[in-house]
Every structure is written in C-alpha cells, then in structure tokens.
Amino acid sequence: MADTVSVPTPRPGAPAGRRRSPQARPHVRRDHRAALFFILPALLGFGVFYLWPTIRGVYLSFTDYSLLTPPAWSGVANYTKLIGDASFWRSLAVTLEYVVINIGVQTIVAIALAVLMHRLTRSSFLRGVLLLPYLVANVVVALVWYWMADYTLGVVNQFLGWIGFGPLGFFGEEHLVIPTIALVNVWRHMGYTALLIFAGLQAIPRSLYEAAAVDGSTEWRSFWRITLPLLRPVLAMVLVITVIGSFQIFDTVAVTTQGGPADASKVVYYYIFEKAFSQFDFGYASAMGVALIVILAGVSLFQLRLLRAGESDLS
C-alpha cells in the first residue's frame, strides 16, 4: 500500500520551489501560496461533502420536512420540542452509558494487549490475528454475536452453563443490553486500537526500560512511570477518534434489538434514524443531529484540553 502513496518525483516547475533566500517575508508569502496548493483538494472535498451538507442539515432543523413534501420553515419549533422530549434525553443517557462502557473497556483492553505484545513478542502473525475482527463489516459482527448470545440456543450461554451460570438474556434484558452491545464492539475494535497504541509504544526508546530495569524497577512500575506518560499523545488521538465514533453507535442496534427491550437500547443515533426514516420527520431528526454535534464538539474540546494533545511545536 505504501507504494501507492509515495507519489514519485516532485514536479520540477512547482510554483514556489526555486527561490533561494529563506528571508522572513518571502518565506511567509511562499508559505501562503504553498499552503493553498496543499490544502486545496482537501478543502474542496470538505466544503462540498461536509460543510455544505451540514449547513443544509442545520437549515432543515428549522423546518418541517417529511422527505416527500418540500421543507416548510417552522422556526425553532423543533428545538422547543426537543427540550421537552423525554425520549431524546433518555436516548442520550443510554448513549452515554454505552460510550463509557465501550471506551472504558476497549481502551484498557487495547493498552493491555499492546503492552503484552510489545513486551512479549514480535510476532506480526499475532498482531494480524488480533486485527481480524476489524476486517468484518459492522453489521455482520453484530448479527453473528446476536445469534451466538441467544438466550436459549446461543453458544455463549452454553459456555456459561458449563461453568455453572444460568443463561443470560444478553440482548433481551434491559440492564444487559447496552453492556452487551458495547462489548460486541469492543471485540471488533480492540485489535485495531491495540495496533495504534502498539505503534506508539514502539516509539518509546528501549533504553528507558533498560535503565529502569537496572534501577530495579518492576515491569509494573515501568508501565506506570514510563509507558503511560510517554504514550499520552498517541492515547489522546486514539481517544478522540474512538469516543466520537462510539457516540455514533447505530449499526449494531439497528441490526439486533432496534432499540428494545422497552427502549433500553434506543441510542440517540438510532432515535434520529427512526424519526427521519421511519416517521419521516426529517426536520426534527435534523434538530437532534445538530444537538448531537454540539454535544460531541463539547466532549472533544474537553478531552483535548484534558489530554493536552493540541500542544505542538508550532503553537
């Protein structure tokens, strides 16, 4: 894959390339022009396929739009409805529970896996195996587990039976359904997350561990004193990405419980989908989408500040 990326020779006539004096002012101007050149394709894609649809979505949130008839301006009606909609707030709480379990378990497991791999083996086969679940589409993963975790016939409950636990209604009990869905997605993502963290681990100089070992530090101590602090920038990035992805949990719910039982797994994204595409209330769905964006932006800002990932040698 790498070959496809590293595009061959630089173009000799490239615009700003030839000037020799790295003096302050021309340097800056050259920066500007080069920046424009580099940013343009992405900016175009961003404007057309992210920004514009988002603006249109925000517009739709102020309308009454049923997909089949043109949108009609309705002011803040959707937003006032949103504030009084208990189902919306409940779906937010459900989503939050999911995110906490999903991210909490996933991050811990991934760090553990990465550290174990890092300290135990160079086997790329092993890393490849752990990445396998990520290769299977979301919905299929959900279906496979939905079936394996069945209350009556599922193989998971058979295992539990052998070690003396009664069958559990993983997807069918109100208090178990969200943890179950969260863990299913941990299964799919743990290897991938571990691999990202593993890459971060490899950048930590070996000499630090060796020195620590000479000083009599245990593996456990080294982990807390060397690994974790040095891993922070990578962790920050991994967390920002996974937390936002986690908030957008949808496929697994759509394929399995569809929000049940008794709305116990009706996450906010599924609620939006239901409003938009099964009740055709696209205006209201858009308003919920806007609320979700605001919430996510808040969470990410908070996270970035907490982890100080925004720090760079440029700022």
Q: Tell me the sheet residues that pair with 73.
A: 63
Alpha-carbon separation of residue 225 from 64, 97, 203, 215, 290 (angstroms): 56, 31, 16, 13, 41
- Which CB atom, from 64 or from 274, has the smaller least distance to other proteins? 274
Minimum gap (Å) between residue 76 Cβ and other proteins? 18
**Residue 112 binds to other proteins (criterion: CB under 8 A):** yes
At its nearest, how many Å lie between other proteins and the CB of residue 100? Answer: 18
Q: Does 99 bind other proteins (CB under 8 A)?
A: no
Tell which one of 178, 190, 239, 267 touches other proteins (CB under 8 A).
Answer: 190
d(CA 246, CA 97): 11
Cis omega before residue 70 (within 30°)? no
Q: Are 99 and 243 in contact (CB under 8 A)?
A: yes
CB of 101 to other proteins, least distance (A): 17
Alpha-carbon span 278 to 285, nearest angstrom: 11
Answer yes or no whether residue 22 interacts with other proteins by CB under 8 A.
Answer: yes
Is position 93 an interface residue for other proteins (rule: CB under 8 A)?
no
Instruction: Figure out which of the listed residues 76, 93, 293, 306 binds other proteins, where binding follows CB under 8 A.
Output: 293
| 209, 227, 235, 267: residue in contact with other proteins (rule CB under 8 A) | 209
Number of residues this chain uses to bind other proteins (CB under 8 A): 157
Does 86 help bind other proteins (rule: CB under 8 A)?
no
Minimum Å gap between C-beta 75 and other proteins is 20
Going by C-beta distance under 8 Å and a sequence separation of 6 or more, which residues neighbour residue 227?
Answer: 115, 201, 204
Contact flags string 49-68 toward other proteins, x per CB under 8 A: xxxxxx-xx--------xxx
Our finding on whether 178 is near other proteins (CB under 8 A) is: no
Using CB under 8 A as the binding rule, the residues of this chain from 117 to 146 that contact other proteins are 117-122, 124-141, 143-146
**Interface with other proteins in residues 211-250 (CB under 8 A):** 213-214, 216, 219, 230, 233-234, 237, 240-241, 244, 248, 250
- Which of 100, 250 has the CB closer to other proteins? 250
Give 98 or 118: the residue with its C-beta nearer to other proteins: 118
Q: Does 280 bind other proteins (CB under 8 A)?
A: yes
